[in-house]
Amino acid sequence: MTISTKTKTFAMTLAMTAAALSVAVAPSAQARVQQRLGGVVGCEATGGKQEAGAVIGALLGAAAGSNLAKNDRGTGTAIGAVVGAGAGSYVGCKMQRDRAVNDTGGAYVSNGIRISQSVDAAPMTKMTGKYVARSNLNLRAAASTRGAKLGSVGAGQTFQALGRTGDGKWILVGQNGVGVGYVSSAYVYRA
């Protein structure tokens, strides 16, 4: 059975379109926002995996595109290289971000402050210094009395402050430079 040239071209176009769409849809909204200006080399996490992924993806995509496009190998190679580079770049950047999260013990950065994954980020002003709890305080996952209780800061206990919410009501408690929860600013004083 012989397949016509039009059928092969249609099948190749369909396959490339599906590959391009899967790459375009694959990144999460957060990844798209974080990479909006960076392209192939703009990953917010350090390392060379994104660039290596882009190169490897481009080579593999070019080879696949050339094989799929029997009649117009130049176009197939070019399209395959672009799609492969995009996919490789995305995968490499994801690997860099995952490594960064593992290296920081699960912390992420918000407003220039490293925060534990179990704590919600709130708009805040970065600050430093030691504070003392006036009474026993609940350590909260969010800057609210409705935030889950993560622990406590005992009366008289000194702690590291990393940030203060915009309304001044909550202070982010730090441990080894990572925000681990919020306490009410009404019940603390500067050490």
Tell me the pTM. Answer: 0.47
Contact 77/116 with Cβ under 8 angstroms?
Answer: no
Specify which residues 133 forms β-bridges with: 188
Q: Which CATH number characterizes residue 142's domain?
A: 2.30.30.40
> End of a domain among 103, 123, 147?
103
Q: Residue 4's pLDDT is what? A: 54
Answer yes or no: do 92 and 165 share one domain. Answer: no
- Please identify every stretch of the chain with a pLDDT value under 50, giving residue numbers as ranges: 1, 10-11, 14-15, 17-38
Q: Residue 74's pLDDT is what? A: 83
Q: Residue 30's pLDDT is what? A: 39
> End of a domain among 71, 103, 135?
103
Question: Could you tell me the two tokens for 181?
Answer: 């929860």
Strand pairing report for 170-175 and 158-165 = antiparallel
Domain around 92? 5-103
> End of a domain among 59, 85, 103?
103
Question: Could you tell me the two tokens for 152?
Answer: 């406590």
Q: Residue 156's pLDDT is what? A: 95
Write down the residue that tokens 């490789």 correspond to. Answer: 88
Answer yes or no: do 144 and 75 share one domain. Answer: no
Q: Residue 106's pLDDT is what? A: 64
User: Strand, coil or helix: what is 70?
Assistant: coil
Contact 162/127 with Cβ under 8 angstroms?
Answer: yes
Could you read off the pLDDT of 172-184 as tens digits, one per residue? 999 888 899 999 9
Q: Domain total for the chain?
A: 2
Q: How far apart are CA 53 and CA 137, in angstroms?
A: 47
